[in-house]
Every structure is written in structure tokens, then in C-alpha cells.
Structure 1
Amino acid sequence: MKNTRKEGLGTFEGVYTPTVLTILGVVMYLRMGWIVGNSGIIGTLTIIILAHIITIATTLSMSSMLTNIDIGAGGAYAIVSRSLGLEIGGAIGIPLYFSQTLSVAFYITGFTEVWTSFFDHPSWLVGLVVWGILTVLSVVSARLAFRIQYFILGAMIFSVGSFIMGPSLNSGNPVLIGDFEQSGYWNTFAIFFPAVTGILAGASMSGELKNPRQSIIKGTLAAVMTGLSIYVLFALLFALRVPEDILLSDTSIILQLGKYRILIVAGIMGAVLSSALSSLVSAPRTLAALAENRSIPLAKIFAKKTANNEPRNAVIVSSLISLAVLLVSNLDSLAAMLTLFFLTTYCMINLVVLVEQAIGVISFRPRFRISILIPITGLVGCVFSMFLINKWFTWITFIVVLGIYYMLRRRNLVSPWGDVRGGVFIALTEWGAQKSMSMPYHPRLWKPSILIPVENSEDFRRISRFIRSLINPSGRVYCLTMNDNGADRQELEEKIDTVLQPLKEENLFAQKIVINSRDFNQDLNIVLQSLLNVFLPPNTIFFTLSEEAEKRKKFLEMLKNLEDVRKRIGLLCLRIHPKYGFGQEKDIHLWLRSKSKNYNLAVLSAIQIMKNWNGNLTLCRVAENSSQVPKIEKELLKFVEDARLPISTKIDVKVGNFYDLIREQSTDLNILGMANSLGQIENIIDQVPASILFVGDSELENVLA
């Protein structure tokens, strides 16, 4: 690692030069005059300043992140992926990569325009030759490509000097505010904005720099300020020296404004070639970084590098893509596409810093600190500009990014660095918890939040399907296991995770709780009291009734130990019939005794199970004599209406002995109020040829709320 850093590129060579040459490129020479003619000097200056506000804010945000993380290779992609995860990083990195390859075609197209204005050569041939030369340079070595840029930088400096000393063609006053007759303000902004997208040129070479953290910050900020100064100077000189009509009709007018025309030509061609070369060197690095994280197909091929650390396969593919775009596009259409692609990347860089600052994690300790207003300004500016430039293509861009994100989610990418997404949700949860806990509880807010004490993972596996029927789609389940201190806790937790995984895959809230304990019955009460005082506590405790007499006695002792918390938590006790199980999972009989105290949780549970089984619900009651049947039926029908039960809910009122009647009923599940004694529970179990759910209300439920 140390040797790599020693042999790496420095700030001037690796960041400042490629960045400033990308910024001061084709737009400055071939579009700046037209922008001034279309917008006037005031309109042009606002475009320049607005664009630079966005890029300066983004540069400062990027600088802040660079002093907080070890960026590695990949530039802007690395910043996003190491903060928000590989999926979001890839969703931004893939469009960024394509925008970099499109930039190559953009700059070669600009060079071709200049060349064909002097020589009578086919534009396609000129573009093809230039593309071939740039491809060879980028394949051979990034260091060689950047050293060639020293000569180009010199040529550009001389061309700027020649332009400053050049003649004036304007005898009148400059136009302060243009008519925007050839293009609207935001379309003009879109044509100018690629001029300032070069701020990522140096960052994209992060893997080849001696000290990427310091070099990217210093080199990029210096290049941005250099670009701002020169663009303002060019705008003023164009406005003062050239009439509006000429600026609008001749995009190559700068060739007539230099003291030495040959220097202007050399500057144009050199700057455009440098920008294209810088993009063609940067794009493969982004592609290789994506491949190293398995975010793209054929990852092994694109991640492969030569002995001198050159991603040759990525270079070749990037070059071919730029060639395809070069043969089918024109300069202005590429400008609008590049504007939105780069703005999307800038959005995410600013968002990363905003999120890191907002959630307040201690790990965010950048040495270069900025006000939170800076990433907000950058983010809002990017989004606002995108919609004003082209709202439809902006929506398409967002859809593409989301599509890539969900595609990468399915690849189960694992980030070795961790990311802050968990912190974002924690921050939102903390905010929501504070708001929720400051408001009084009301039964209408009830939804199933079930605590299930189990001795081992297999106990939960047997009932997991039924539990799903109780909590789907928005309930919660806590699987509580009391671990013997002598057992392997890690192995136990892994087994619990395995049985909970099917619920989690359906995006259901399923959480394990493992407590070291030797006395399940005694310690359950203490654990439960603790859980009832946290945010998102359980509101129902769920037991299964064993077929063994000894375990049933222990269950009764457990219920007695829980008497002091019973007003704060509901009770569900399930007996699964050993022969019939849950039958067809279709018919549910809910037995409602007159003046029962346990009907609220019983009805709410029945509703949940019925929905998830897509089943049928029948309200059952036993009348003392036939004369009471009409009155009871009327009461139950009113209850169906008041409780807003499905219109398909049936009413079944019978006269006779309860035990005889329930034994004769054919159903898949009976739901009854909790019996007063173990003897009554066992008597019902012995009588009923179906599974039974015994229910005990707390004071939290109200089915009429």
C-alpha cells in the first residue's frame, strides 16, 4: 500500500490539471459566445453563478466526506456507496459511469466541429481518428495521459492570453439582458452546465493518487475557482467585443477574437482533447470500482487490472460505448443528457453529507467541517435545476436510478465498510418514538404485537404459519427464548434467526430476544415487565398448550406469575389438535358468551386470522332456551354492525349444553374466552375435535374503537 501511494499522482498532476482542463473545455470556446448573445451579460452571469453555486456546494460536500472516510478507488461512486450502501452507490455509479462515457463523445464532437471548420474532412472520419488516438493513450497508461495534459494546459493558457489581448468587433454597447430568442433560460443553462461537471475528474482518479484525501480537496477547489474566474472573464469579453447577432449566428466567433489565431485554435483543440481524455480515463475507473463490488454483470472481467494497475478491459468497453454514442449524437443533445446525469450524482453527494450530519452519528467526524446549509443548498439546487431543465427526463432519470437500486437489492450485495442507512432509520424511529410517546394511547391504535416465549426454535417453527396469520400485514412478533447458561448462545440465536427468516422475507416485523436464565417460569415475569416499558412493546403474550399434563400444570403456574401484568398485556393460548391441525384453514367459530370480558381480543384475533386465511367467520352463542334466540340474534347482528365485521359474518345461536354443542360443531378453529381454571381448559380440549385458541383481554383492546 505504501509503495502505491509513493508512486501515485500528485495534486497538480492528478487532480487540478484534469479538472481544470475538463471545466475549461468545449463550452468555453464554442458555446460561451452564443450563451452571451442569447442571454445577455446579466443572464449569462446568473447562469455561471448558479451553476457554480451548485458545483461549489457539491465540492465542499465531497471535501467534507473525504476527510471522514478512506475513499479508495471509484471517486464519487465510492463516496456514495461507502455511506449509503452498495445498492444506492451502484444506482448512482452506473448512471455516473455512462455519463462519463457520454462525455467522451461530447468532447470529441466539439473537437470535430473545430477541425472541420478549418479542413474539408468528413466529420465522422475526424471523430473516429481522434477517438482512436485517445483510446490508445488511455489503454497504455493513465500517467502518460495526464502528462500529455501538461502540454495542453500550456496551450490553453496561451490561448486565453491571446483572447484577452485580441481585437473588438463591437462598436455599440453590450446587451445586458438577452431576449432568449433561440433558447429559453433553463435550456441555455442546460447547455452551459456540462462546463462545470468536470469537478469529478480528479475524484474519479482516487485510486491512482498519492494522497487522495488532500489532493482531491485542494485540487478540485482550486480548479473550480479557476474556472469560475475565467468563465466570468470570457462572458464579459464576449459581451463587450461582439454584437449580439454575430454571437447568435457564429459559434466559432472566438477564432476572430484572438491576437494570435493559431493559439486560439491550439487552445480549443487541446482543451477539448484533454477533457475527452480525462473522461476516457475516469470512466473505466468507475466501471472497475463497480465491478469490484459485484454491482454489474461480468464483474470479474471488468474488475481485472494489468500489472501497472490499469483496468484495461474497462477501458476498452468504455471506449466502444463512447464510439457508439459519437456516431449517433450531436453536441447540444448530449449536453442536456450529461447535465441531468451529473446533477443526479451531485444530488447524492450532497445527500450523503446531509444525512450524515442530520442523524448525528459519532462516526461522522470530518476534519473539514461545513455548515449543513451547504449540502442543503447543493441538493435543492440540483433537484430544482433538473426539473426546470427537463422535468420528463428528470422523472425518467429517477425511475432508472430506482430500477437499478431494486435490481441490485436482489443481488444481496454485502458492503465491507458498513453504511449509514441503519442510522437514518434509527433517527426516524427516535423521532417517531418521541412523538408517539408524548401522545396518550387509544385502543383504536391497537395492532397485534405478540410475544412468544419458546424453549427452542422448533417450538416456534410449529406455530410460525399460525403466527403469520395473526400479524400479517403490519403486526409484530417477538420470539423470546430463555437460554440455559450452559448452552451455546450463538448456535441458539442462529436457529431462532432461521425460523424467523420466512416472516422477515415477507417484510413482517420479527425480532428475537434471547435471555440467559435457568428458571423460565420465574424470570419470564421480570423480562415481560421490562419489555412492557420500552418503545413498541408487546401487547399480547402467546402460549401453546402441551399435550403433557405436567407441562400444562407449569403453564398454569406461569399464568399466576403474570397476574400483576395481565392488565397491560393480552393472552392467547393455542391448542393445536394433534390429528386435524388447522384443517382446511377456512372456517372459524368465535364463541361469544353473554357479558364476557374477553371478547375484544377474541374478535380482533378472529378478524386477523380470517383475513389471512381468506376464511369464513361465524359468531356462536349458547342460549338457555329457544325464546331467547331471536333477541340474541338481534344483539349479535347489531354487534356485527358496530364492530364493522365483514358482511359475510354468520350468526349461529343454539340452545343446549355448551360442551355438547361445541363438540358437534365442524370447524377448523374455535376461539373462546379464557377459562377460569386448568380443569375447564382440559375439559374443553377433551371435548372438541378441532384446534382451539383461548383468549384473555387486557385493558388495551376495544373492538368497537
Structure 2
Amino acid sequence: MPDKKKFGTFAGVFTPSILTILGVIMYMRLGWVVGNAGLIGAILIIVIAHVISVSTGLSVSSIATDKKIGAGGIYYVLSRSMGVPIGGSIGIALFIGTALSIALYLVGFAESFNAYFGLETTVNGIRFSGTIALVTLTAIALISTSVALKTQFIILAAIIISLVSIFFGHSEVASDSIQFFTSDGSVPMEIVFAVFFPAVTGFTAGIAMSGDLEDPKRSIPRGTLYAIATGLIVYIALAIFMALTIDAEILKTDYNILMKIAFFAPAVVAGIWGATLSSALGGILGGPRILQAMSIDKVTPKIFGSGRGKNNEPINALFFAFIIAEIGILIGELDIIARVVSMFYLTAYGFINISFFLESWANPDFQPTFKVKRWIGLIGFIACFAVMFKLDMMAMIAALAVISAMYFGLQRKEVKLQTNDVWKSVWENVVNKGLKKIDAQGEDNFNWNPNIILFSGKSDHQKYLLELCKTVSGRTGIVTNFKLILDKENVNPPLKKTEQVVRDNLFKELGIFARQIRVDNIYSGITNIASTFGFSGVEPNTIMMGWPKGLENSKDYSRMTQTLMHLDYNLLYLDFDRKVKFGKYKTVDFWWRETDSKNAEMMLNIARFIISSPRWDNPVIRVLFVNNNNVNIEIIHSKISRLVEDLRVLVEIKIINNAVEQRAFYNIIEVESKTTDLTILGIPNYKIEKQAEFVMNTNHLFESIGSTLLVRAANNFNELDLDIIKANDEIEAKEFD
């Protein structure tokens, strides 16, 4: 097969861009803009519009010199930078905008053509002439892209001659004074801007031809920026010329005034027709290529991806663009079409600018040869949506709603490319900066955010341990589950990094990270992971696992627990009742001992997370305290109430007098919490109770009550010291006095 014909900067980018820029708006509506907005207002509109076009042109030019730009132009850039869902959504909007812009140019052509030949200038007359022009241009595009592009050189010459004729012309309707600002009875500036804005969108015509360029990385930046700069100069010069030479009222009402004042009127007619037809031809050439590229990526139906001939001309996509353009022509009102086209292009340009900003900010692999300051992209993004908001807030909301619907639709289709989009780099950058901020601040237990290492095992009640772990971690906590693969003989090599990552739907649904690792001893494996896992800023602060009921040697458990306490971890051990599970998820008992000064604050934080959990629907949380010293109940209640209130937890408080009977603590729990859905206990200080005895007594307790969570707080939690004996003595002393 012969090599595909390629084009350079002038033929492939500058020419189609400048012909679209110097198009229908310049000839048919720039005078109307000056008449309604005044000279200063018109220049302001031109400058603001070019802030958007220049920033977008710089953004896309920079991306073009970093990435290989294929067919589809702007769509290709967005889909490879921000992913198919966003790129495809904007690509569809851009294709529709381009197709409707064809209608815009041909309606402008029809207005001039009908007026020149004395034909009907009614809506139906414009529809007829516009349709004939559309059929003719489509036929030219079908013959060959090369023929179409060569035709544009003739049109460019006609436009240059027409501009010379205008500037050397003379007006018989000159104004006595220059109108610098808008006057009474003028069209609002927002509408004037919306009608004008399509004039500066022409630079995308060249970018859309990216697949037909010899060197896109060189041609796109040069051709695009030269076209934008040329257009800016011509528009400002022509606006000043018209304000100085033509009365403002004439400019408002006579769309063909430039033809009347020109030195050689036929040259202006040729320029108008050439500009409008060339702009439409640029859309006919570029629009279908956007649709073709999207179809190749499976964003749109594959029927539009097929091409014809050695240049792979997008015939099917061309016919679809023809249909949309014809629908626009049937509207028949240039100003209405222009305002719709403005919204489509502003949306697309906004995302192009933010795409460049995110690439340059977050992607370390972004190394363009055409370097642009990243804030230019941010300014362009803000300017696009600020202008959309000012022009028509409801239209902006509608446009974003449609884009969002397309985004979620493409996301559900799970269309993916071989290339990586920028979002991974964005999130990595956000995480990096966030970790540094967190690391610099230290941990605040008042706003404790759990980062839990979970050892859930593979038992039949694993999912309940996972469920409770997610509950006590709250909305923003992090949970990493480790599966320990026991290899007592230590004969197998360690798992590779890729093998350590566990992909499981259960973990994915719960938002839990999952890893697996091979160990020769469960307890030493746990302590090794606790000693090494994590990194600065998000160090794990909590260890959670099931209570080891079948513990053969309490020394292993005790040694592990002592090590974890030495590492200053919060400890959570769940004894799960296989029969009743978590009951009805309605009651939680929190046992507060005098020796639970640190554990109490952590348990109250856990209670707060349980209350806010969707699974635990407004549970009744009781704080139970055993009064062994005959202290005044009101004193104890007051102390606990104040501490609980400070931690913003709503609970019921129950004081159990045990000064006379002196029953064992666990015996009291057996009576009070027998039917409780979840009981929370503090792990006592091992210096007070023997470790083996604690394990044995605790196992016995668990046989009598439901699911229980044992808690041991790290040193970062405050000591909630009730100091009730001292408070009681002080009150008694006052009463004695």
C-alpha cells in the first residue's frame, strides 16, 4: 500500500485554522459586535475570547510536543491524558460542536449569498442555500482531503484581497463621534460575547488534522499559535477600523456593511463566501476524524471507525457529521447556532486546559519540548467556566450534566487504552503532598483516625471480623488485611511483590487493602509485620485480630502482645460468637474500670464510630462502671458524664455497686452483658494480672457472653482518670466541716 499523503505546518495546521478564524463571524457579525458593545467593549470581548484561545492553544501545543498525537486531535490528547471517560465525553461534545459549526458557517454564507443575488433572505431561503452548499462541500471532501486542502489556498488569497479592499475602502455612513461603550437599546454583552466566541475556535481545525500531518509535534504548536496571533491582530484592527469609519447604529443593523464600504465590493463578496465555505470545509474535514478516532477507541459505534482509500478517509463519520450539520442549518438562525456552538467549545477548551495543568503538575514523565507555565492552563480552565457561568448558567449546568452522563456511561463500559492516563500521577502527587502534611502535624487522638493492620485469618467468621474492623475504622480510616501463610519448615522462598497483593471482591467492596505473606511462626510473623509495615505520614496505629481461643501456649500470645504494646500499637482482639454473631446490631456495652484510664478514651472513640456506622442503626450504648469502693454514685455519674460529653458520644451510664458483695469483675459482666450484641472490654495492665491467668479467665468469660472486643490503647491516648475516691473524700470532708 502506498504511504499516506502527509501535510506540513502551513497546509495542515495554519491554513485550515486561519480560514476558520477569519470566517463568518468576522464578515457577518464583527460590525454588529462593535455596534452593540462599543469599541472598548468589542476589544474587551476580543481579548477575553483570545485569553481562552491562547491558553488553550498553548496547552494543546505543549501536550503535542510531549505525546504522540494521532488522529482525532483534541480528543486524542484528552483521552491519553485524562482517560477515555473524560476524553470520550469531551470528544463527543467537540464533534457535535464542530458539526454544528459547519451549520454556523453555511448559514452565514447563505445570508450573504441570498442577499447578493436578491434571493429570499427568509429562514426557508437560508435553509435551501445552506443545504446546497453543504452537499457541495461534502462532495469535495469525499473526492480527496488533498483536493480540499489545495482549494483552501485559493480561498486564503481571496480573504487577504478582501481585507485589503476593506481597509482601503471608504464609508459614506461615518459616525460623528466614536462609540466607545455600549449604549441604550444595545444587545447585552453576554449575548454579544456568545455570538462572537466561535470566531476564535478556528484553531482546532488544524489540530483535528493531526493524523494527516508529517510532524504533529512541530506543526501543531507553530501552526496553531501563528493562526491565533494572526486572527487576534486582524480582529482588533478591523474592530478599530469599523468604529472609526462607520456609524454604530448602522453596524447594529446591517450585516453586509463591509461589502458596501469596500474599495472593491466583489473582493469582499469573494472573501465572505470563501471564508464561510472554507470554515465549513475545515469542519467537514476535521469533525469526522474526531468521530473516527473515538470509534477506533470503541467510545462510539465502530461503524464510524472505518475509512476508505489509502488515506483512510472517514466516510461513515463524514455522513453522520453531514446529518448533524443539516439539522443545524434547518434552525436557520446564525445567532442561535453561534451561542450553542460557544457552549460546546468552552466546555471542551476548559477540559483541555485542566488536562495540561494536571499533566505538568502531576506527571513526572511529562517532558514537552514546547514548555509552557502550568498556571496558563489553570487560568484557561477558570476563564472557560467563568465565561460559561456569565453567559448562561443554566446552559452551563446542562452542558456539564450531559458531559457527566456521557462520562459515567463510558466508565461503565470500562473502555481502556494501552496508555496510562494522568489520573494515577495526580493521585500519587496528592497522596505525596498529603503524607508530608500529615507527617508534619503528628497524631491528634481527639480526631483519631484509625490505620489498622488486620489479621483476619480464613475462618468462617472472617467476614464479621472484616465488617467490625471497617466499622471501628470509621469513614476515613485505613485497613490493611494480612493473610499469613504458615511455612513451619521455612522451605519455600518469600512471595514476590506481585504475589503479595490480594485481589478479592470482598476486600474491594469493603475498601480494605489486602496482602499475603509467608511466615514460619504466626506470632513472630505478626510482630515482624507490625515492626516494618507502613511509612511516614500513615504509619499503622492499630492491630486487630481474632481472639486466639485455641491458644496452645499462652506464652506465645503474651510475648506477641507485649511486643505490640512496646511498639505502641492500639490492640483490638475480637472474640466472635458464632451462634448469635452481632445479634440485632442494637446494643453495645462498654465496661469502664478504674484501671482503664487510657483504654476508656479509645473505647469512646470506637463507640463514636459504631454510632455513625450504617450497619449499627442507632444502637444503645451503655457505659458500665463497677463501684467497688462505696463511692457516691452521683460523683461517679457526674465524672463519667463530663468525660463522655467532651468526646461527643451519647451513652447511657450505669453504676453497679459492688462494695458489699465484692463479686469478681468477670462475674458481673456475665450477668449484665449476657444478651448484649457487642461487649467492649479493656485489656488490663499485665503488671497487675498474670498473663496466663488472664487468658484462661477471659476464655471462660467468652463462653458466657456474646461477641466481645478487647481493647488496649496506645500511649497517644489521654488518661481519663476518674479519681473518684479523692473526689468522694473531698465531698465527705466538706460535709463533715
Report the TM-score, using the length of structure 1 for normalisation.
0.89
**1:571 aligns to what?**
571
Q: Determine the C-alpha separation between the residues in 1 that align with 2:155 and 2:720.
A: 79
> Residues 461 and 155 of structure 1: is their aligned pair in 2 closer, same or farther, counting only changes over 3 Å?
same
Q: Give the letter aligned to residue 235 of structure 2.
A: Y
**2:603 aligns to what?**
602
3-state SS of 2:567 partner: helix
**2:706 aligns to what?**
690
Of residues 3, 11, 16, the one that matches 1:18 is 16
Does structure 2 retain, via aligned residues, the 8 Å contact 1:643–1:703?
Answer: no
1:655-694 residue pairs with structure 2 within 5 A? 655=658, 656-664=663-671, 665-675=674-684, 676=686, 677-687=691-701, 688-694=704-710
Q: Determine the C-alpha separation between the residues in 1 that align with 2:233 and 2:638.
A: 85
Structure 1 stretch displaced more, 541-550 or 407-416: 407-416
**1:38 aligns to what?**
36
Deviation of 1:271 after TM superposition, in Å, equals 1.3
Paired residue total: 692
Q: Give the letter aligned to residue 71 of structure 2.
A: A
Q: Determine the C-alpha separation between the residues in 2 that align with 1:374 and 1:328.
A: 37
Structure 1 stretch displaced more, 56-65 or 526-535: 526-535
Deviation of 1:287 after TM superposition, in Å, equals 2.2
Q: Determine the C-alpha separation between the residues in 1 that align with 2:507 and 2:561.
A: 26
**Are 1:265 and 2:269 matched, yes or no?**
yes
Does structure 2 retain, via aligned residues, the 8 Å contact 1:446–1:701?
Answer: no
Q: Which runs of 5+ in 1 are unaligned?
A: 505-509
Q: Determine the C-alpha separation between the residues in 2 that align with 1:631 and 1:413.
A: 65
Q: Determine the C-alpha separation between the residues in 2 that align with 1:412 and 1:557.
A: 49
> Residues 491 and 363 of structure 1: is their aligned pair in 2 closer, same or farther, counting only changes over 3 Å?
closer
Deviation of 1:256 after TM superposition, in Å, equals 1.4
**1:541 aligns to what?**
543
**1:232 aligns to what?**
236
Structure 1 stretch displaced more, 488-497 or 191-200: 488-497
Q: Give the letter aligned to residue 669 of structure 2.
A: I
> Residues 684 and 240 of structure 1: is their aligned pair in 2 closer, same or farther, counting only changes over 3 Å?
closer
Q: Determine the C-alpha separation between the residues in 1 that align with 2:608 and 2:37.
A: 66
Of residues 166, 169, 191, the one that matches 2:195 is 191
Deviation of 1:634 after TM superposition, in Å, equals 5.5
Of residues 278, 283, 293, the one that matches 2:287 is 283
Of residues 333, 336, 354, the one that matches 1:330 is 333
3-state SS of 1:155 partner: helix
1:166-565 residue pairs with structure 2 within 5 A? 166-170=169-173, 175=178, 177-181=180-184, 182-296=186-300, 299-308=301-310, 309-359=312-362, 361-453=363-455, 461=463, 463-481=465-483, 486=493, 489=496, 492-493=499-500, 495-504=502-511, 510-513=512-515, 518-522=520-524, 524-531=526-533, 534-550=536-552, 554-565=556-567
Partner deviation per Cα, 1:655-676 (whole Å, 9 max, x = no partner): 5443334334212222111154
State the identity %: 31
Q: Determine the C-alpha separation between the residues in 2 that align with 1:251 and 1:198.
A: 21
**2:726 aligns to what?**
none
> Residues 552 and 19 of structure 1: is their aligned pair in 2 closer, same or farther, counting only changes over 3 Å?
farther
Of residues 90, 95, 99, the one that matches 2:88 is 90
Deviation of 1:246 after TM superposition, in Å, equals 2.2
3-state SS of 1:68 partner: coil
Q: Determine the C-alpha separation between the residues in 1 that align with 2:11 and 2:101.
A: 21
Does structure 2 retain, via aligned residues, the 8 Å contact 1:577–1:690?
Answer: yes
**2:157 aligns to what?**
154
3-state SS of 2:552 partner: helix
Q: Give the letter aligned to residue 341 of structure 2.
A: L
Q: Determine the C-alpha separation between the residues in 2 that align with 1:230 and 1:457.
A: 76
Q: Determine the C-alpha separation between the residues in 2 that align with 1:218 and 1:44.
A: 27
Structure 1 stretch displaced more, 674-683 or 458-467: 458-467
Structure 1 stretch displaced more, 682-691 or 106-115: 682-691
3-state SS of 2:214 partner: coil
> Residues 177 and 632 of structure 1: is their aligned pair in 2 closer, same or farther, counting only changes over 3 Å?
closer
Of residues 50, 73, 76, the one that matches 1:75 is 73
Partner deviation per Cα, 1:581-638 (whole Å, 9 max, x = no partner): 3233332222222332322222322332344212322223344499876665565555
Does structure 2 retain, via aligned residues, the 8 Å contact 1:302–1:311?
Answer: yes
3-state SS of 1:670 partner: strand
Does structure 1 retain, via aligned residues, the 8 Å contact 2:494–2:518?
Answer: no
Partner deviation per Cα, 1:464-493 (whole Å, 9 max, x = no partner): 222222224222112234566536547854
Deviation of 1:23 after TM superposition, in Å, equals 0.6
Q: Determine the C-alpha separation between the residues in 2 that align with 1:366 and 1:430.
A: 23
**1:507 aligns to what?**
none
**2:717 aligns to what?**
701
Structure 1 stretch displaced more, 192-201 or 631-640: 631-640
Deviation of 1:277 after TM superposition, in Å, equals 2.0
Q: Give the letter aligned to residue 618 of structure 1.
A: R
3-state SS of 2:178 partner: coil
Partner deviation per Cα, 1:394-453 (whole Å, 9 max, x = no partner): 343334434433443333332421122232233333333333333353321212221113
Deviation of 1:639 after TM superposition, in Å, equals 4.9
Structure 1 stretch displaced more, 592-601 or 330-339: 592-601
**1:113 aligns to what?**
111
Partner deviation per Cα, 1:634-658 (whole Å, 9 max, x = no partner): 65555544443225x3636365443
> Residues 668 and 65 of structure 1: is their aligned pair in 2 closer, same or farther, counting only changes over 3 Å?
same
Does structure 2 retain, via aligned residues, the 8 Å contact 1:457–1:499?
Answer: no
Does structure 1 retain, via aligned residues, the 8 Å contact 2:21–2:203?
Answer: yes
3-state SS of 2:201 partner: helix
Deviation of 1:69 after TM superposition, in Å, equals 0.7
Does structure 1 retain, via aligned residues, the 8 Å contact 2:502–2:515?
Answer: no
Q: Determine the C-alpha separation between the residues in 1 that align with 2:280 and 2:70.
A: 24
Q: Determine the C-alpha separation between the residues in 1 that align with 2:230 and 2:636.
A: 87
Q: Give the letter aligned to residue 559 of structure 1.
A: T
> Residues 46 and 462 of structure 1: is their aligned pair in 2 closer, same or farther, counting only changes over 3 Å?
closer
Report the TM-score, using the length of structure 2 for normalisation.
0.86
Deviation of 1:40 after TM superposition, in Å, equals 3.7
Q: Which runs of 5+ in 2 are unaligned?
A: 722-737
Q: Give the letter aligned to residue 562 of structure 1.
A: L
Of residues 47, 58, 61, the one that matches 1:60 is 58
Q: Determine the C-alpha separation between the residues in 2 that align with 1:171 and 1:307.
A: 55
Q: Determine the C-alpha separation between the residues in 1 that align with 2:389 and 2:632.
A: 70
Cα RMSD (Å): 3.1
Deviation of 1:223 after TM superposition, in Å, equals 1.8
Q: Determine the C-alpha separation between the residues in 2 that align with 1:242 and 1:520.
A: 91
3-state SS of 1:452 partner: strand
**2:727 aligns to what?**
none
Structure 1 stretch displaced more, 450-459 or 53-62: 450-459
> Residues 458 and 554 of structure 1: is their aligned pair in 2 closer, same or farther, counting only changes over 3 Å?
farther
Q: Give the letter aligned to residue 120 of structure 1.
A: L
Q: Determine the C-alpha separation between the residues in 2 that align with 1:479 and 1:393.
A: 47
Deviation of 1:526 after TM superposition, in Å, equals 4.5
3-state SS of 1:549 partner: coil
Deviation of 1:272 after TM superposition, in Å, equals 0.7
Does structure 1 retain, via aligned residues, the 8 Å contact 2:604–2:644?
Answer: no
3-state SS of 1:7 partner: coil
> Residues 440 and 267 of structure 1: is their aligned pair in 2 closer, same or farther, counting only changes over 3 Å?
same
